[in-house]
Homo-oligomer: A and B are copies of this chain.
Amino acid sequence: MEYKGEARKFLEEHGVEVGDRVRIVRDDGVEIEGIIMPRSELGDDRHLVVKMDNGYNVGVRVDRIERLEPVGERREPKFRPLEEEIPEDPSLPNVAVMSTGGTIACRVDYETGAVKPAFTAEELVSAVPELPDVVNIADVRAVMDLLSENMEPGHWIKIAEEVADALSDPDVDGVVVAHGTDTMAFTAAALAFLLDGLPGPVVLVGAQRSSDRPSSDAASNLIAACRFAGEGEVGEVTVCMHGWTADEVCLVHRGVRVRKMHTSRRDAFRSIESLPIARVDVRDLRNPEVEYLREDYREPEDGEPELSGGFEERVALVKFAPGMGPEVLDFYVDRGYRGIVLEGTGLGHVSERWLDSIERAVDEGVAVVMTSQCLYGRVNMNVYRTGRLLRTAGVIPGEDMLPEVAYVKLMYVLNETDDLGEVERLMRTNLVGEIERGRVIGGFEPADGPHHRL
């Protein structure tokens, strides 16, 4: 947004504009150096927003600014000028790239101050110039522009339709979907259940740090994702994100076994009790290398992919905690919900005083599925009394599924059938890799690992 009032007057008087790098001395002596950002949508007319080098924004009241001076050259262009034509290399694979929003698709236009979601092949290449050495961008689609916390099941279907459409072109080897990281794992699970007969990889990719920060993972993640999508060897929905720093490696996770496990670190995405499908060495951005870490991935299928169903939206995720009453279950049942995923304790427990409400839910035909808030390990309701009581009440064990994946899967399964026996059978059957049952152990680090300083 553009500045108004006092802030705008201040900028004009000092001859600086949005996008300029400045050093500010405040009346209390604090010095702030950074780039003047567009006005925040919640800002008033008296503050400037400055993005500091640590990546964070700070608001500075203009009447408290003692001194302001430009630093360095006037506005370096952040992007290469757009090329008219991107060279196409017939020896390279063809990848479709689509944007749904999020940090990776964010680009502040320093001319107008607007955050632009525009997304063309030319802009991609101007931002990530190594891309044409890795793949041909055969198809570019700006599907939507959403912060991923605002995604809904309807968006998952829209994305799946676009992916299926892109992959119905036999020349396209794989699809890359740029997505906000907050709910990327949910969307990955949704696409995994929805998309049937994939002829190539679907790779969700995001960035934990935006591209205007020096430590941004946007370019390397995108290149790794395109490289893996171009391989065309896997008929699964995956998530490609920064792996770890020392080696500049990205990891390609199975979409139904991955979770965002850190609010801010670049290596936030982890395969939980599972091994990533591959890693991509991105030290040389023009020649990234794929190494497969497991062989039991799904092979690509011939023909065009199809959407295999949809999502019943009357499904809730309920995390249990001591002291919480079961009334929230009654609330959902009263509202006509068809499914509830419980995130219980340990091997899959909730307080015994929840039993009546659970029994009532099951009696009314509501599917109740148990997962564990431990995240690692698997539900086993045969060990302790509470588990057995819950089983007797009709609770379906969620095996080793992540709570978030069980939630998406229950939406998918309830769209297929209302029959609780069939719901239980499908929930406990591995459909697309979401149930591994310890076939591959990985991801649960020993407490004496190198980062524990023990």
Chain A: residues with CB nearer than 8 A to chain B?
40-42, 56-57, 147-153, 156, 181-183, 186-187, 243-244, 246-247, 249, 251, 260-265, 267-268, 270, 275-276, 279, 293, 311, 313, 315-324, 327-328, 331-332, 335, 343-353, 372-380, 382-386, 388-389, 392, 404, 407, 411, 441-454
Contacts and interface: CB of A to CB of B under 8 A. Distances in A.
Contact of A453 (B243, B275, B453): B275
Contact of A378 (B261, B263, B321, B450): B263
A41 B321 CA distance: 25
Contacts of A156: 322
A419 to B, nearest CB: 22
Contacts of A262: 374, 376-377, 444
A247 B260 CA distance: 31
B349 A182 contact: yes
B450 A446 contact: yes
Contacts of A383: 56-57
Contacts of A450: 445-446, 449-450
B389 A42 contact: yes
Given A182-B345, A182-B349, A321 B407 contact: yes
Contacts of A346: 149, 181-182, 260, 263
Contact of A447 (B251, B316, B344, B411): B251
B452 A446 contact: no
Contacts of A319: 317-319, 343
B447 A451 contact: no
Contacts of A321: 186, 317, 404, 407
Given A57-B383, A328-B328, 8 more contacts: A148-B345, A150-B351, A181-B346, A249-B448, A260-B346, A264-B378, A321-B404, A445-B450
A328 B350 CA distance: 19
Nearest to A376: B262
Given A317-B321, A322-B186, A375-B261, A449 B445 contact: yes
A42 B348 CA distance: 18
A304 B315 CA distance: 50
A267 B445 CA distance: 10
